[in-house]
Amino acid sequence: MKIHVLLGFKNGHDQVVEFDATPAKEEDKAKTREKAFQKIVRMVMHKDMTRGFINVSGISFRIEEVAYMRLMDEK
C-alpha cells in the first residue's frame, strides 16, 4: 500500500512524497497506515538527526529544511 505524506519546508514550499508499507493483515490497513506515518515522522524528525539527506519518491531533501509533515487522505 502507498502512503502519501505532505512535507512542508521552511522556505514555504511543500511536496507530496510516497512511501510503501505492507500491512500484516488486509483488515489492518488503517492501523498500518498510522503506524507507518509515525515511523516516517520519527525517521525525519529524529532528535539526534540535525543534518542529513533523505531520498524518496525520486526527490531528495535535507531533513533540517522540513518544517512539518502531514498524512494525506487515501486515494
Average pLDDT rounded to a whole number, residues 1-21: 90
Residue 27's pLDDT band, with cuts at 50, 70 and 90, is: confident
Residues in CB range of 73: below 8 A, 6 or more apart: none
Residue 49's pLDDT band, with cuts at 50, 70 and 90, is: low
Residue 50's pLDDT band, with cuts at 50, 70 and 90, is: low
What is the amino acid identity at position 58? Answer: G
| All cell numbers assigned to 20 | 510503501
> Where exactly are the structural domains of the chain?
2-71
| pTM, entire model | 0.77
